[in-house]
Structure 1
Amino acid sequence: MNGHGGRGGGTSSKSVLARGLSLLDAFATGEPELSLAQIAARSGLPKPTAHRLLGELVEWGALERSAPGHYRLASKLFRLGQLVPKHRLLREAALPQLERLQAETGENVHLAVPDSVYTLFLEKLTGRESMTIGSRVGGRMHSHCTATGKVFLAWGGRSRLREVVDAGLPRLTPRTIVLPGLLHQDLERTAARGVGINQEEAEPGVSAIAAPVLGARGQVVAALSVTGRAHGLDLDRLGGVVRAAASAMSRTLVRHTG
């Protein structure tokens, strides 16, 4: 009973849809392009099966070939993502505040939401004098080492923190917090001061500060952040600026959803 058609075990028992989604999920780590071998390994599918399904995803518009044997996400997925009602509402409410933050600070500014053990960036505006950083719209970064991610952990309850710790705390820089006890202490400080701070924990030379955005029921639904050179950000001054922007966005959300 190990033939084709979904009757056997292992990968053959998955539906075509499930196998296709596993190929797309291979891109979840944020790399701009992947080879056939990388995609097959991450999805657990044989190369011939992966190659055939990748061809169908290219034809549908979810992927495009970036080079022989290499693939990247295509714009159709981005267009569909923009239609998610919750994310569209958050982006519309955030944009005026992001523009103000960008104008006032000259730095990179973000809107992010929690996504499993990650922080997912829904919007990014690049500052006029800002440095190049690794974040991008639609990209994800680990929660334990990002300012927005720390917001979600500090106000997300024990279950979210446990999920992140159980998934592992990878060290991305010498300053990344990788011990659960130290992370817990850092999150207590985050809640006490009202902002999450990343000091060169995700990228060397890059720091950020983020504040929580609240929904109609008072729950944290998103975060706004300012990111720039570690030695150029006045975190004390920016704390009040980012909190004010997040509070203004929260009021907008309440008016539209309350």
Structure 2
Amino acid sequence: MGYVSESADGDLQVDGEIVAERPGGVQPIQAVQKAVAVLNLFTSQEPELTLGTIAERLDMSRATAHRYLITLRATNLLAYETARGVYTLGVKTLDYAAVVHDSAKFASAFVRRTEPVLRRLSEETNHTAVASVWNGDCPVLVRTGIPVQRMVVIATMPMYSCLPVFDSAQGRIFLAFSADARRTHASDPRLRELEPELELARRDQFVRHDVAEDGGTTTMAVPVLVDDTLVGVIATLAFKTTMQGPDRLLARKALTRAAADLSTRIRTDTT
């Protein structure tokens, strides 16, 4: 690679030529992505993995996988038990766990507990139900409940997709209840423009957002609060033609009950 620099507009340049980047950010570093993929294989269900298993699951040769494992061992992110030939997460990961424990315990419980609540919410309302958490700059879809009775349902975004901050019911709930979300987008003039709606959202603990595209959809969202701390948002998605006044009221009540149920489950888990 030649001389690398950054233009006044923030574009990456190599030998004076602008390098195309992926939308929304810099080019990902492939080696880092693969190293993270290795770490992501370790779960509470599978805390120990062999070289062969890791190579197979990541579609790598054993030699390539071994190079990543050696590097991760050198940084104490992985440990190796010679007698049994298995890898486990290393002691360095304990430092990361300590850092995120306090801030992530509610979010972790929210993700873990939300699936049965969403499933019941979908069965009760006959609409798609979703849950999202804040990832630092936008809401991220983490769980979905699909109604079993409807022949046609709204196709949700792929799991872990970033949702619009200002143009979604979920995003507006985060802006209304999360100081972190407001700080992140404090320089955006839309935040000031939305303040009257955000004040209503705080008062009612509810947001409805209609979208004309995609056949006309309605999203209704409510916060999941634990001791006045926002831990996530649950919402229902429906076609506007199926959401008349009484239907909206029933769905809103069902959402409120689901959020209260989820809040109780999370509080029990974290205390």
Corresponding residue to 2:118 among 72, 83, 98: 98
Normalised by the length of structure 2, the TM-score is 0.59
SS in 1 for 2:163: strand
SS in 2 for 1:186: helix
Letter in 1 for 2:132: A
Does 1:117 find its partner at 2:137?
yes
The alpha-carbon distance between structure 1 residues 245 and 42, as it changes in their structure 2 partners (threshold 3 A), is: closer
Q: Which position in structure 1 is the counterpart of 2:64?
A: none
Does 1:206 find its partner at 2:209?
no
* CA distance, structure 1, for counterparts of residue 238 and residue 138 of structure 2: 20
Alignment of structure 1 residues 77-88 onto 2, 5 Å: 86=105, 87-88=107-108
Corresponding residue to 1:190 among 194, 201, 206: 201
Q: Is the 8 A contact 2:109 2:270 kept in 1?
A: no
Q: Is the 8 A contact 2:115 2:145 kept in 1?
A: no
* CA distance, structure 2, for counterparts of residue 257 and residue 202 of structure 1: 40
The alpha-carbon distance between structure 1 residues 251 and 136, as it changes in their structure 2 partners (threshold 3 A), is: same
Give me the CA root mean square deviation: 3.7
Identity %: 17
SS in 1 for 2:155: coil
SS in 1 for 2:185: helix
Q: Which position in structure 2 is the counterpart of 1:164?
A: 185
The alpha-carbon distance between structure 1 residues 44 and 135, as it changes in their structure 2 partners (threshold 3 A), is: closer
* CA distance, structure 2, for counterparts of residue 138 and residue 42 of structure 1: 16
The alpha-carbon distance between structure 1 residues 44 and 150, as it changes in their structure 2 partners (threshold 3 A), is: closer
The alpha-carbon distance between structure 1 residues 212 and 201, as it changes in their structure 2 partners (threshold 3 A), is: farther
Instruction: Note the residue ranges of structure 1 that are not aligned, 5 or more in a row.
Output: 12-35, 64-74, 77-82, 169-178
SS in 1 for 2:234: strand
* CA distance, structure 2, for counterparts of residue 115 and residue 90 of structure 1: 14
The alpha-carbon distance between structure 1 residues 165 and 127, as it changes in their structure 2 partners (threshold 3 A), is: farther
Q: Is the 8 A contact 1:197 1:208 kept in 2?
A: yes
Normalised by the length of structure 1, the TM-score is 0.62
Q: How many residues align structurally?
A: 194
Letter in 2 for 1:254: R
Q: CA deviation at 1:230?
A: 2.0
Q: CA deviation at 1:99?
A: 1.1
Q: Which position in structure 1 is the counterpart of 2:241?
A: 231
The alpha-carbon distance between structure 1 residues 110 and 202, as it changes in their structure 2 partners (threshold 3 A), is: farther
Does 1:221 find its partner at 2:231?
yes
**Which structure's CA Rg is the greater one?**
2
Kindly provide the CA deviation profile for residues 104-158 of structure 1, in whole angstroms up to 9, marking residues without a partner as x.
122111111122331111111222325333422111112222122221111124x
Letter in 2 for 1:196: V
The alpha-carbon distance between structure 1 residues 245 and 37, as it changes in their structure 2 partners (threshold 3 A), is: same
* CA distance, structure 2, for counterparts of residue 43 and residue 192 of structure 1: 36
